[in-house]
Amino acid sequence: MAVASFVLGLLGLLVLNLFLGPVAIVLAGLALWRGTTRRGRALLGLGLGVADLVVLAALVSMDNTVSWSLAG
């Protein structure tokens, strides 16, 4: 679960951050609660999940929509 949260958090920075961010946070929390041996990876997944939501909030505040594109 720790590795999955890391991968989903990393992918969430690029696409579907509205869905992948919270999933990464939940998976990281579950991995930490269960006492994973990959604690660092779970913490990275947690941080990336939070970063997904921060990036989404910043982009939404710039153009007042939930969708965004690289074209401008």
Three-state SS for the chain is CHHHHHHHHHHHCCCCHHHHHHHHHHHHHHHHHCCCCCHHHHHHHHHHHHHHHHHHHHHHHHHCCCCCCCCC
Residue predicted with more confidence, 6 or 68: 6
Q: What is the structure's pLDDT at 16? A: 83
Q: How confident is the model at residue 70 (pLDDT cuts 50, 70, 90)?
A: low
Average pLDDT over residues 5-17: 87
